[in-house]
Amino acid sequence: MVKKMNVESFNLDHTKVSAPYVRLVGVTTGQHNDKVYKYDIRFCQPNKDHMEMAGLHSIEHLMAENIRNHMSNVLDISPMGCQTGFYLSVLNNDQFEDVTAALEKTLNDVLEATEVPACNEVQCGWAANHSLEGAKEIAANMLDGKDEWHIVFAE
Ligand code: ZN
């Protein structure tokens, strides 16, 4: 028996998942009954594939800016250090379909983007490390798997 760890994803068997997928990680309730819903949005199969850093960085900027046009109460969307996905945190909305609909619209925005927002030394911590083409490739691959986003584990 593996010891249960503090971080939910450290208790997830990454060999059993089937990317791409969207998975509710957990719900945190505040003292006024506000709820934060945290999602694991997995773009790449763990330990088989990953996003290259420049494209990942650009799709991070593009999704962070655009997803807020399609869904209210987005607290954060941030890349995983393993470069296989993102975490999304949403306040007071328990609708999985709202998340997948916003994600689809946001990825389509990426495909249509002509530039990476905030891609400069004033607004970003590594402005030289971007690839719009890389971001579009990542978005297209993720959209290709859209019908399987609700399936987290391999059969
Ligand atoms: Zn940046």
Please, are residues 58 and 132 in contact by the beta-carbon 8 Å criterion? yes
Q: Is residue 88 part of a domain?
A: yes
Q: Is residue 7 part of a domain?
A: no
Q: Is residue 8 part of a domain?
A: no
Average pLDDT over residues 126-144: 98
154 CA distance to ligand 1 middle (Å)? 33
55 CA distance to ligand 1 middle (Å)? 11
Q: What is the pTM of this model?
A: 0.95
Q: What total number of domains does the chain contain?
A: 1
4 CA distance to ligand 1 middle (Å)? 34
CA dihedral sign, ordered 75, 63, 18, 10: negative
Whichever domain contains 44, its CATH number is 3.30.1360.80
Q: Is residue 65 part of a domain?
A: yes
125 CA distance to ligand 1 middle (Å)? 5
pLDDT above 70: residue 1: no
Q: Is residue 95 part of a domain?
A: yes
115 CA distance to ligand 1 middle (Å)? 13
124 CA distance to ligand 1 middle (Å)? 4
Residue 154: the pLDDT is 87
| C-alpha distance from residue 116 to each of 14, 64, 124 (Å) | 31, 11, 11
The amino acid occupying position 23 is: R
Q: Is residue 10 part of a domain?
A: no
Range of the domain at 100: 15-147
Q: Is residue 152 part of a domain?
A: no
| Tens-digit pLDDT profile for residues 15-56 | 999 999 999 999 999 999 999 999 999 999 999 999 999 999
| Tens-digit pLDDT profile for residues 76-117 | 999 999 999 999 999 999 999 999 999 999 999 999 999 999
84 CA distance to ligand 1 middle (Å)? 17
Q: Is residue 154 part of a domain?
A: no
